[in-house]
Each structure stands twice: as structure tokens, then as C-alpha cells.
Amino acid sequence: MEKKLTPEHLKRLTLDSQGLTQNTPFGTGKTAVLNAFEHLGYIQIDTLSIVERAHHHTLWTRIPDFKADNLEELVEDRKVFEYWFHAASYLPMQDFRYVLPQMLMIKRGESRYYNADPKVMKYVVDTIRNEGPKRARDFENESHKAGSWWNWKPAKLALERLFMQGDLMISGRSGMQKTYDLAERVLPSSTNISEPTPLEFAEYLVKTNLRAYGFTTLKQITHLRKGNALKTNVNKVLQMMLEEDTISKVTSEGGSSVFVQNEILEKTFDQASSSVWLLSPFDNSIIHRDRIKQIFDFDFRLECYTPKEKRQYGYFCLPILFGDQFIGRVDCKAHRKEKKLELIHLHIENSTINLDLWLKPFIETLKRFAIFNACESLALTQVSPSKLTTVIKKELSKVKFKK
């Protein structure tokens, strides 16, 4: 017989597992950054820079003293590496062997993506082997001869293919400019490079999801991963864990069944935090849209890929989490030259919570977020509902930045 949990308990379980119920859930400094990676499993990379990029934003949300240098140092220390989770991501080096199935699949030519000229691939590898790490731009204008087989675009394709199949790794970045080196020169000698069996890979996905989210489902575990064989193996792992009594299958009131770790199933929580988090649209906690809709009744979609005339909320909205409830979203932009963080449109969607409870912590978080984005002022352009405009602007006017 399945156990039952209230939606409120599931909310607290998953937010706690995501590191969103405490101020310093993973500690401080560079050590906290590595702890976060090893707990969450991955952090998604994104190139958009409307505000601070997603990978930095996601870490800052959980590590108040986070600095971009912390991440760069972990890459240099070979504790973290770049590859693909469900999207381009940073992952902990301890999980390297679990990207090998995809690398080898691409190397065998079983993917219709990442096509590149073998001659160019050989040239790129030989150049990096002989001359050291290279960026894509280092291969620009290699030949100016009209009709030559060699130019920058084939080189970039070759770099991507060699990276995806594991011959090259990204040894560092300057902003979004990636530097590639031979994998043999980047991987620590102690790294486990044995390819996991399909069942071991499924177990890795199951345990990563349970650890990072507190509870999970088959759909969540296989998010953006195709193949019936994977689903079969994930189900096998879940059944084994049920038989071993390490997880339980529970039903939320009015919801579907989920799998929960037994060690946290009976965990109790104090009163919900009064803190406010501004989440990146690519934050691990909200990446599964159906799950957030089901558990939090919050329908979130990033609209930067939606035609302007069809957007409901704005180009780059950040979800606003107050305690264990999503109260709205805000379309932001950091005007870096003016050092101003603009709240283009603030949408407050949960009217059941007293304004006095969330407004001050929200303003405090906005100030911290502005500083994180190297901004020294805040500007509010529009609020929905409009009746909140005056009181929110009044509170914003009290914010002072150190010059």
C-alpha cells in the first residue's frame, strides 16, 4: 500500500534537497561550490547574459559569497568538467565515467549530430597536440584561398565533434570563449574511465535525481533522454531500491505517485523560511516544468525563444520563490554600462500572501542580486497588478548602495 504525503511536505522535501531552505546549505567559498556540484549532479551552462549567466546565477542562489573565480579554479583543479547532462553543463569530475556512453556513441557515428570532416578533425588534434590548448578563434583565417577545404566553420565543427566524443575537453574559459585541450592532458590520472553498464548508468540517474530533488518519477529521471531500454533499466533500479527498502513509493494528495528516499521521508521541517530567492530560468529546481506545475502550481516557461508578440510575461523572467511558494516572476535586465538593474516587468501572481511578509525580503534579495550583477541602482518600470506599483517603488527608493 502506497504511503501518502501532503503537497506541502513534498514542497519542503524538494526545496530542502535543492538547497533552497537555508542560507548556506553547502557551506561557503570554493568548497561550497564543489559540494553543490557533487550534490546537485550538474549545473546548466547558458550563453544568455541579460543578467549574470545561468551557471553563475544558480550557484550564487545557494552560495551567497559565490565568485566566478571559484568555478574557474575548480575547472583548473580538475574537480569539475564540462559536458552534456540534458543540456550543456558543468559536472563533478567524480561522475566522469557516466558521460562515457554518450561520448562513445558519438565516436561510433551513431548520432546524426556533430558531423565533421575527418581531415579537419585530425588537423585540429595534431595542432593542439603540438602547439597546446586552442580556442575556436585560433583557427580563424587558417587559409585565405578561395575554395579551400579549410576555414573556420569546419574547424569549429571539428572542435565540437572532438569534444562531444571525448578526444578533447574544455580546459578553461574566458567568458564564453572555450579553450580546448587533449582529454589525456585534462583528465586526472585517478579518474575512473570504465564505461558503466546500462544498468549502472540508470542507477546513476536514479540516485542523482533522488539526492538532488528529494523525490522523483520515471519521467523526471529520463527527462530529454530517449530510448525504451533506458526506461526499462530505470524501472529495474527503482524496483530493486523498493525491494531493498531504500526508497518508498508515495502519493501526494490529489497527485501522482513519486519515489522518495526513506532516509528523508520522515523528515520534519520548521516553519517555512521568509527568505526570497530569485531563480535563474535554468535553475535545477525549476527545469522540469510539469513537476513545478504539479507540486507548486506554478506554470513557468522561459519566453526568450517565444516570438515577442506571443510572450505573456517577458523575455527573460526570473521566478520568485518566497519560502515554499512561487509568488511571481520578474523580467530583468542588467544595464552594465549604467550599472543599473532594471525590473522591466514585475509580475506578482500569488495574492493570498500578505505584502508585508514578502516585500522587504524581496527588496533585500533584489539589492544583493543587483550587486551580484555589478549594478549600483535599481529601476522598476512596470508592475502587475498595477495597484502594487506605488508601495513597491517606495520600498525600492529606500535601497542604498555603497559607492
pLDDT, tens only, 284-309: 999 999 889 989 999 999 999 999 99
Work out the pLDDT band at 38, boundaries 50, 70, 90: very high
Q: 132-144 pLDDT, tens per residue?
A: 999 998 987 555 4
What is the C-alpha to C-alpha distance for residues 252 and 312, in angstroms, rounded to an integer? 30
Q: Which pairing describes strands 43-44 and 88-92: parallel, antiparallel, or unpaired? A: antiparallel
pLDDT of residue 195: 97
DSSP class of 108: T
Work out the pLDDT band at 96, boundaries 50, 70, 90: very high
CA quadruple 278, 283, 287, 292: dihedral sign: negative
Q: Which amino acid is at 380?
A: L
Give residues with Cβ within 8 angstroms of 127, minimum separation 6.
134, 139
Domain 276-396 indexed as CATH 3.10.310: no
Q: Strand 43-44's sheet: what is its strand order?
A: 43-44, 88-92, 80-84
Report the predicted TM-score, pTM, of the whole model to 2 decimal places: 0.94
Domain boundary assignment for the chain? 3-96+192-265, 276-396
What is the C-alpha to C-alpha distance for residues 212 and 295, in angstroms, rounded to an integer? 16
What is the C-alpha to C-alpha distance for residues 26 and 42, in angstroms, rounded to an integer? 15
pLDDT of residue 1: 56
The Cα-based distances of 76 to 89, 181, 184, 264 in angstroms read 16, 12, 14, 35
Beta-carbon count within 10 A of 229 CB: 10
| Whether pLDDT at 150 is above 60 | no
pLDDT of residue 255: 67
Mean pLDDT for all residues in the chain: 92
Q: Which pairing describes strands 377-380 and 340-348: parallel, antiparallel, or unpaired? A: parallel
Q: Which of 30-34, 83-87, 115-119 has the highest mean pLDDT?
A: 30-34
pLDDT of residue 152: 57
